[in-house]
Amino acid sequence: METAEKRTLLAVAALLGVTVLASTVLHHAFPGVLDVPSNAGVPHTGLFSIFLLDLVPLLLAGLCFVHAWRRLGPYLAVMFLAGSFFFTGLEENVWIFIGRYMHLLAAASPELGSGAGTYYFTRGGLWWFEIPVYICLGWFFIAYSCVHVSNLLLRGRGIAARAALGGFLAMNFDLWLDPVQVHPAWRSWVWLTNEPVRVLSIPLTNFAGWFMLVFLFALVFDGLPGLLERLGPAKAARRFFLTLIGLEAALLAGFLVYGALALKFIKTPVNLTLWGI
Amino acid sequence: MERKDNWTDYLPMLAFLGYWLYAGLLAAFMTGDPRLPRLGLITLPVLAAMAEALRRTAAARRRKE
């Protein structure tokens, strides 16, 4: 590996490592700072359960990372891991904090400002701001496996089709994962939103988010080898992360507009359900 | 890639299927709500895609051998 590549990867890893460490200390030792909700009544909050919940996704992410390292090389493997971690983690964090401090939005949109919040995660050992690290790692290996599979199945097709299939596969899995994980027996995360359109009792924007995050990330990641060749490792990494931040902002703005319009115009809640779920 | 390293070709699909079993099927059964394991049928498209990817990976390995 070139020295410039090594330096860039170390910088990315150090930045993520330091923010994870600081967030974890803040979440557990000073929950009042970020108004962390109470876990009263949430099952499986013992130390062993939390350790296990962190460990399994870490191992599965490790499998995908080994594959990425061998297939794409160290630079692209670390960028896929750090990029997907950052892209999806940032989106979820912003969404959670918008919900937590929703009352401050009342001036801009009375409909949004009157909401009870969006959602929050209940348990986790390591945290990245208000997202458990195992969720970010889950995003990494689900995105990686779905994009890898869509590349295999649509070999020779354009990136838009491959990215769309990757997004669809990830969203398809979450149609089951979300209802299971929010069941009272687990309560891995808690939905607070009063969003009127739901699928299997889960807000529609959640599934739109799953599709869009994996779709957009696959599109941006596909352009990274070209950036690396043209700009070198450090500038390519900066451009890559800035593009992700720009898309993040556009996606969140879109969801906010949708939320405000849906709350204003859809007066009767709709739930597309199977077996009453 | 060396012949001995070829097992790594399967890792993305195995990681996904491992999570499907762990966070999906096992967790669904542990809720005690019989509707949730049944709801897993909704993921047939992604399971079919994973199975086809495993098949194509195995076929590519056989061609290399």
A88 touches chain B (CB under 8 A): no
Q: Facing residues of A270 across strands?
A: A197
Task: Assess whether pLDDT exceeds 50 at residue B1.
Answer: no
* C-alpha dist (Å) from residue B26 to A178, B18, B23, B30: 14, 10, 6, 6
Q: Closest to B43 (Cβ–Cβ): which among A67, A165, A176? A: A176
Q: Please write the tens of the pLDDT for every residue from A95-146.
A: 999 999 988 877 777 766 667 789 999 999 999 999 999 999 999 999 999 9
A274 touches chain B (CB under 8 A): yes
Q: Closest to A63 (Cβ–Cβ): which among B11, B24, B40? A: B11
Contacts with B21 from chain A: Cβ below 8 Å? none
Q: At what angle do helices B11-19 and B44-64 cross, to 10 degrees?
A: 160
Q: What is the distance of C-alpha A25 from the center of its chain?
A: 21
pLDDT of residue B4: 55
Average pLDDT, chain A: 94
Phi, psi (rounded to 5 degrees) for A272? -80, 110
B28 touches chain A (CB under 8 A): yes
Q: Please write the tens of the pLDDT for every residue from B21-65.
A: 999 999 999 999 999 999 999 999 999 999 999 999 999 988 887
Contact A125, A50 (CB under 8 A): yes
Average pLDDT over residues A57-86: 97
Q: Provide the whole-model pTM.
A: 0.94
**Domain interval for residue B41:** 3-64
B65 touches chain A (CB under 8 A): no
How many domains is chain B partitioned into structurally? 1
A156 touches chain B (CB under 8 A): no
A203 touches chain B (CB under 8 A): no
pLDDT of residue A116: 77
Q: Please write the tens of the pLDDT for every residue from A147-191.
A: 999 999 999 999 999 999 999 999 999 999 999 999 999 999 999
Helical residues (DSSP H) of chain A, grouped into ranges: 3-29, 47-72, 74-100, 110-113, 133-153, 159-181, 204-222, 224-231, 233-265
In angstroms, the separation between the Cα of residue A52 and the nearest Cα of chain B is 11
Average pLDDT over residues A248-262: 93
Task: Assess whether pLDDT exceeds 60 at residue B3.
Answer: no
How is residue A44 written in tokens?
A: 């499986």
- Min mean pLDDT across A47-56, A227-236, B3-12, B54-63 is at B3-12
CB count, 10 Å around CB of A196?
18
Contact B19 A66 (CB under 8 A): no
ipTM score here?
0.94
pLDDT of residue A3: 87
Contact A180 B52 (CB under 8 A): no
Contacts with A121 from chain B: Cβ below 8 Å? none
DSSP annotation of B8 reads: G
